[in-house]
Structure 1
Amino acid sequence: MDSPLADAQIGPISAIDFSPAGIISRRFDTWPGLKVETVEVVRRSPFEYRFRAPCHLLIAAEIGERESGETLLEGLPRSDLRTFSRKMTFVPAGRDFAGSQKPRLLTRMICIYLDPRGPLTDPELRFSEVEFRPRLFFEDGCLWQTALKLKAQVEHQDVMHRQYGEALGILLAHDLVRSNANANPIRSPAVRGGLAAWQQRRLAEYIEDHVSDDIPLTALAQLVELSPYHLCRTFRRSFGVPPQKYHAMRRIERAKQMLAERELSITMIAQAIGFGESSTFSSAFRRLTGQTPSRYRRDLD
């Protein structure tokens, strides 16, 4: 339901601007002080985006992978992270947000715009008085689940969806306040005998960005200033598996996302994630998931 009145309540600019025109498909619904939008990139071409408005913006990236590009959020260092599927971004009202990307996969995300005055929120929450911090590519299970439920309200409306959407808006406001309070800049402690937090983050991001490449153990070790021996020992304590298996698992997770794109053949996917033969890819996929890529794709239906 497109309500001009509700849309006006969250400011004159209430949506991310994408260019070129026609690069995306979008649907939205509104409640007082709340707008929820589903955004899907429809072709694998370079595009840019920008946003600045008197409303808060929460982005939940369901699929986000780019071959190149960068993201800028006022108050934070720019990021060229290539893989940000299942990660979230929060843009406080009045902050500049912009970026560009050449997508590796067709981007799909949920954009939620909130009025800082919070007409849907509990008055005792004092939502309008909270000083929200900008956050780029973070994870929060509660916020993620609420975003998915709001997406469902946009896509599958029923007679109760107005009241349920308002209830979800109240829940989202509480989750945002909680998440903001927990978003301190202090690094989380390392697992005893494992890698430091900065080392875990650097290794995980490097593997995501080079998931289709052969990654020598020495390259990972140099990245975090350790010997290959100490890297293997500390990596397993921090991630639960050796570096080689973690890399293989991330390859298969990338393959799962690509299998959802029906126009890509199994052979194309195998080559895209670094397997020379589709038979080798199928064996690795079955070893880690218990089923073949073809069976996994059929089950998606």
Structure 2
Amino acid sequence: MSKAVMIDFTSTPHESVAMVKERLARNGLCIGRADFRSNTGSWLGAAQLTIIMHEGEPFEFGWRTSIKKAEKHIVTAGQFHIAPAGQPAFLEWQGTQSAITVAMTAFFLEQTVGEAFDGDIPELPPQGAIHDTVVEELIVTLRRGLRDHGRYNGLRLDHAGAMLALHLFEHHGRSNSATARPALSGGLGSSRRRRVVDYIEAHLGEDMNLGELAAEAGLTQHHFGKAFKTSVGQSPWQYVNERRVSRARDMLCRGERSITEIAHELGFSSHSHFTDVFRKITGITPSHFRKDYL
């Protein structure tokens, strides 16, 4: 095997391989969009566990590893490849191909899935041209975060990243135990729930993240996300959205601030973003809500 090029997707990758168009790093999770240059055949690997999801037109993709025979696939938008840290594969494709990359550092994985499998964390081998609608939806959520600069965007990224990591290991990993599954956790309990809810209420206009909320509850990020949903019936960021909209309704009724001022105070990235979230939850726009009330 010739020398492999190991790509660090948390920094500037080899420009001979890929040109980064956008990138956002947060708490050991790095999301990016890149154009991968035509490759007639070379050994490529990733420095961190990296998921690469195709965005463009269908193309022919060939790959093999040192222990897996060569395969060829027609890859379509939404299909993805799994590149475990330090495990190169021989890859080939024609033409420049656009993709979303999601790199997960060891720190991120420790925080999100380190305690989730009762000490039997599955092996995640190299895999190519996979179709999984759950993974696709979670990566699309992460992609939105590249351009959403609202103050609560971080919480959504933390949650989607943790759910993506858990789903990958549970559904695409290989374990020595045929019955291995993530350890289930119960709810938060009344005192933890109250602490977290009070914290959210006090910081609705700020960029909360999953780590902060988990720390407030004294749990790991993975266990917190599951426990919160068990107790509240919603993911943390869904709950935060609803609380922000509830507060926005009160502010709209008072009529003291403009809609743009309310959007900014509650951490939305823009007037239009606030309107989209408000409409999704209430069924009407903020301006119509204010008009109907006043």
Please give the range of the TM-score, normalised by the shorter of the 2 chains: 0.3 to 0.5
TM-score by length of 1: 0.47
TM-score by length of 2: 0.47
